[in-house]
Amino acid sequence: MITRLVDVWGWSTKVWPTTIGPQRMCGVSNHPSDIIKNDYDRYTKELFQQADKQILRLQEYQTMFKGTTQLEDVRRTQHLQWIIEDLALEGDNTIPTTCRMSRILKNVDMYPDLATPDQRLRIVNFARALEVAESFVWGQLDLGAFSVSCLSGIHYHLSQRTNQGCWTLSRPFTDALRDLKELCDWIIDELDKKVLHPIEFAAIANCRFARIKPFTTWNDQIGRILMNMVLFRHNYPPMFVQGSQKDEYIKCLTLGMNSEDYQPFVSFMAQQTIKSYDDAIVSYDWLLRLYHYDIPSCVAAFRIDDKTD
């Protein structure tokens, strides 16, 4: 939803997201600098409020469709879309659709024409890394969710059969290990304090990991997985950055890495979170419209427990 600035601050010449958003904070806009900070704070709070409303709506849907195949389908589609957009961020312009990707993940060797060998390997590795990340978050693995061992394990699965996995060679190993441990300790400490909004918390964690660059490869992907792990811990669904927003994503992330000015990146990631959750809400809305908002019939049609052998 786009709100004109005249409705918020009395400005009638621009539209809110493109004026107060990350584009402006990264220097794309030429507005006076003395009002940028206040504009950003108000703009970001509006985004957080909108995301929180979406979370409540998604939680209602998840409660409504609990135990149905449709709930699992929506979650699976979110993960597939996450992989697609992440491949696009890495410069892959020939990405399979969610339907084709689902087939690839079911049997990577059965559909060789759906993707290149490199794509299939990256898709399978990324999907496995997501499973491992969620297992860490929900305590299904013994190691801590936010630890050096956890992040190393995610990197291991991302780099399976690629011969590209090792710790960074551009700086001493001990320095990278120390910085990564400090980041993990900061995440655990912030989880206890509960001061930052989950989206802000997740975005800053991504920025700080990107600054460390502990591995030779896959740092960007791990940073985005780490960001979603923070959201998972706050019972937020996964979010993904759209591949079409790659330039803006890099610009905001670079600013946060180099100057520790996280505001543009937090604002940008809040926008992307809202877009990601909009997709999930549309899926549930479509299901309700299909059954003319007859919720009992809708849920019964997809109830897993009712599909007995």
Taking Cα atoms as reference points, which of 195, 194, 191 lies closest to residue 183? 191
303 has which bridge partners?
68
Residue 266 has pLDDT above 90, yes or no: yes
Quote the pTM value: 0.77
Alpha carbon distance, N-terminus to C-terminus of the chain: 45
Confidence at 136, pLDDT banded by 50, 70, 90 = confident
The listed range with the strongest mean pLDDT (8-22, 71-85, 145-159) is 145-159
Residue 96 has pLDDT above 50, yes or no: yes
Instruction: Judge contact between 14 and 5, C-beta under 8 A.
Output: yes
CATH (one of 1.10.3290.10, 3.40.640.10, 2.60.40.1190, 3.30.450.70) for 5-301: 1.10.3290.10
Tell me if residue 170 falls in helix, strand or coil.
coil
Taking Cα atoms as reference points, which of 270, 230, 241, 232 lies closest to residue 49? 270
Read off the pLDDT of each residue in 154-168 and give the average, rounded to a whole number.
Answer: 77
Instruction: Judge contact between 55 and 278, C-beta under 8 A.
Output: no
The listed range with the strongest mean pLDDT (66-80, 155-169, 263-277) is 263-277
Q: Where are the domains of the chain?
A: 5-301
Read off the pLDDT of each residue in 251-265 and give the average, rounded to a whole number.
Answer: 88
> Residue 112 carries which DSSP code?
T
Confidence at 8, pLDDT banded by 50, 70, 90 = very low
- The pLDDT assigned to 260 comes to 77
For residues 173 and 178, what is the distance between their CA atoms, to the nearest angstrom?
9
Continuous segment of H or E residues that includes residue 247: helix 246-259
Question: Vertex 242, ends 244 and 127: CA angle to 5°?
Answer: 130
Residue 298 Rama label (left phi>0; alpha psi -120 to 50; beta) = alpha
Q: What is the pLDDT of residues 67-79, one digit of tens each?
A: 777 777 778 878 8
The listed range with the strongest mean pLDDT (90-94, 109-113, 170-174, 184-188) is 184-188
User: What is the distance, to the nearest Å, from the Cα of residue 285 to the centroid of all Cα atoms in its chain?
Assistant: 22
Q: Report the helix count and the strand count for the chain, using DSSP H and E.
A: 14, 0
Q: What is the mean pLDDT of the chain?
A: 75
- The pLDDT assigned to 38 comes to 62
Residue 60 has pLDDT above 90, yes or no: no
Q: What is the pLDDT of residues 216-239, one digit of tens each?
A: 888 999 999 999 999 999 888 888
The phi and psi torsions of 172 (rounded to 5 degrees) equal -60, 140
For residues 88 and 45, what is the distance between their CA atoms, to the nearest angstrom?
29
Weakest mean pLDDT among 46-50, 107-111, 153-157, 233-237: 107-111
